[in-house]
Amino acid sequence: MHKQLLGGRFHFESTSQALLDLVEAAYGDVPPHRLPFLTPELHVQLRLVPGGHLPNAMEPPPVQMQSGMDLLFGVINAANYVVISPRQRQALVVASEDMLAFPYHLRYELIEFAVFVLAARCLGLVPLHAACVGREGRGVLLLGDSGAGKTTLALHGLLEGMEFLSEDAVFVQTESMLATAVTNYVHVKNDALRFVDDAKAQRWISESPVIRRRSGVEKFEADVRSGHGRLAKAPLKLVGAVFVSSEMTDDPDALLRPVPKGDIAARLDADQAYAAGQAGWLPFQQKLVQMGMHELRRGGHPRASVEALSDLLDRRMRL
């Protein structure tokens, strides 16, 4: 199975149709993003082994991360793990038959982890815990703590006609400041449905499968490929970035406020602890400082925040 993802050409190989079906669930019909320069060939082998390793489990044990000898490991147990070799541009995902009962964990914590790490390391991308929406090929990066509202903002950007890139993981090529992602799902809490006014969109989300995060939080996993908005067909050129805040304001003119340039670097380091330790972080950080950043507070309805983002995009696109 071959997929164009995150600027790379991924080749998935397996004798297990069940594992290839999970690959298709994750990456089928995802916009085939390409980045400037070369498109590397990346290989992921998926191997299914006999079960009996997760007896009576409500969920699999958490993934333990290890590294050594230019290899990266994500280990659940002796029969469920991923080994990644960026130097060889290859990854091996091993899963037991009883792990198939946990398709979300298998897909998200092993298969997608392998894809993300290979893309970031082999293409020199900066991996961010962030969301991104845009318009006309230009994008705004949404940063902030978990629970600050990035997903809600990205969802309503999608519903209001903006191009949707991602609500969770964004990868940036520093030289071009192009942002790419795997544009497949948006994860929505049940209490966020009260802000979704369109009945068709409410049904789309509420009838989606429910996944359970490691934190215990349950969310609808709504497939954005099902035609409920505009997906970013190509990487978005970043023209703005905001820290999403949980602080409320009823004044639409006070939603966006600039972050002092002297504070941006420290706030980025604190917000993106994993990315800050990766190659390419410093030039990326410097470009965001030069670009300038804003803090976005919550309005009475997410639509107000989307309007503020749209205004920011308009201003930046005129520069």
pLDDT in tens, 104-163: 999 999 999 999 999 999 999 999 999 999 999 999 999 998 888 899 999 999 999 999
Ordered by where they begin, the domains of the chain are 2-123 (no CATH), 127-318 (3.40.50)
Q: What CA–CA distance (Å, rounded) separates 57 from 222? A: 25
Q: What confidence score (pLDDT) does residue 252 get?
A: 85
Model pTM greater than 0.75? yes
Q: What confidence score (pLDDT) does residue 144 get?
A: 93
Q: Which residue positions in the chain have pLDDT lower than 70?
A: none
3-class secondary structure, 53: coil
Q: What CA–CA distance (Å, rounded) separates 319 from 313? A: 10
Q: What CA–CA distance (Å, rounded) separates 17 from 69? A: 32
Q: Between the CA of residue 196 and those of 132, 220, 305, what are the distances in Å? A: 19, 14, 14
